């Protein structure tokens, strides 16, 4: 008995192979360029002081995201279009971790305020490129601080262009409501409540001073309570 070959398709009929469409490679948006955040201690202190004080100004419910030295990608699918401001502030976006700021994932909201702190290694061409980027992609206020020469420059958006702010001594940022003071020969920034921006060292010194004052007050209260007890008075009543 001759066995018949079992076909899965009719003899003489061509079977068309099923080919899956090629998968598009996933677009990568780097979170670091491998370069240091700052080139020297003066620039680093300026960056962390501005970023830290701005972030501390806004509680979580204020819906203001502040970050430092983080890539901002304004255009989906274009990882080559990016910049990392020394500090950026975005109103209308919540606080929280982000490896980078991808604008299309943030309701399309561009950072309204950016800060740059210069170092000797920043070239005019580099800073011109950043200015053009901020102007093109919707920044409202741009502040550029040179800590070596204590020079602050600023620009404010007028229609579609960033226009220079003539005098920044006493200027109050429309968005942040912080005030810049250059009258002492050094840049001092004041919060909306009148408190001066403090460095990390100054914050720790103030914290230590507050703890010392609290400890002294507690010590005085305990000594007074002991004196009252000796007089037969219960200080708890």
CATH of the domain at 176: 3.90.1570.10
* Structural domain of 107: 41-194
For residue 167, give every residue at least 6 positions away whose Cβ sits within 8 Å of its Cβ, in sequence order, or none: none
C-alpha separations of 85 from 37, 38, 75, 127 in Å: 10, 12, 16, 11
Residues 157 and 138 in one domain: yes
More confident residue, 68 or 229: 68
Determine how many CB atoms are found less than 10 A away from the CB of residue 77. Answer: 10
User: What pLDDT sits at residue 212?
Assistant: 61
Residue at 36 is within a domain: no
Residues 202 and 94 in one domain: no
Residues 106 and 208 in one domain: no
pLDDT category, 3, cuts 50, 70, 90? very low
Answer yes or no: is pLDDT of 68 > 70: yes
Instruction: State pTM to two decimals.
Output: 0.77
β-pairing, 179-181 with 188-190? Answer: antiparallel
Between the two ends of the chain, the Cα-to-Cα distance in Å is 113
Residues 68 and 119 in one domain: yes
Residues 161 and 137 in one domain: yes
**Interatomic CA distance for residues 232 and 221, integer angstroms:** 17
Residues 180 and 207 in one domain: no
pLDDT category, 209, cuts 50, 70, 90? low
What is the mean pLDDT of the segment spanning 68-89?
A: 97
Helix axes 41-57, 200-230, angle to 10 degrees: 60
User: What pLDDT sits at residue 8?
Assistant: 40
More confident residue, 199 or 203: 199
Q: How many domains does the chain have?
A: 2
User: What pLDDT sits at residue 6?
Assistant: 45
Residues 54 and 138 in one domain: yes
Which of 130-134, 146-150, 182-186, 224-228 has the least mean pLDDT?
224-228
Residue at 18 is within a domain: no
Residues 180 and 208 in one domain: no
């Amino acid at each position: 008995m001759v066995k018949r070959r079992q076909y899965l398709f009719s003899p003489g009929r061509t079977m068309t192979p099923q080919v899956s469409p090629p998968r598009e490679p996933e677009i990568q948006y780097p979170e670091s360029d491998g370069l240091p955040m700052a080139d020297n201690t003066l620039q680093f202190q300026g960056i962390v002081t501005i970023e830290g004080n701005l972030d501390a100004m806004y509680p979580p419910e204020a819906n203001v995201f502040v970050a430092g030295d983080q890539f901002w990608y304004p255009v989906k699918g274009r990882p080559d279009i990016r910049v990392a401001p020394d500090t950026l502030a975005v109103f209308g976006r919540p606080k929280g971790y982000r490896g980078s700021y991808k604008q299309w994932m943030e309701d399309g909201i561009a950072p309204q305020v950016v800060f740059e702190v210069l170092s000797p290694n920043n070239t005019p061409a580099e800073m011109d490129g950043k200015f053009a980027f901020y102007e093109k992609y919707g920044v409202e206020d741009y502040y550029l601080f040179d800590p070596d020469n204590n020079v602050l420059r600023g620009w404010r958006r007028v229609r579609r262009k960033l226009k220079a702010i003539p005098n920044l001594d006493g200027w109050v940022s429309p968005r942040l409501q912080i005030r810049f003071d250059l009258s002492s020969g050094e840049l001092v920034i004041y919060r909306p409540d009148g408190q001066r921006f403090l460095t990390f060292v100054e914050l720790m010194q103030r914290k230590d001073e507050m703890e010392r004052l609290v400890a002294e007050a507690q010590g005085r209260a305990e000594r007074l309570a002991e004196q009252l007890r000796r007089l037969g008075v219960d200080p708890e009543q």
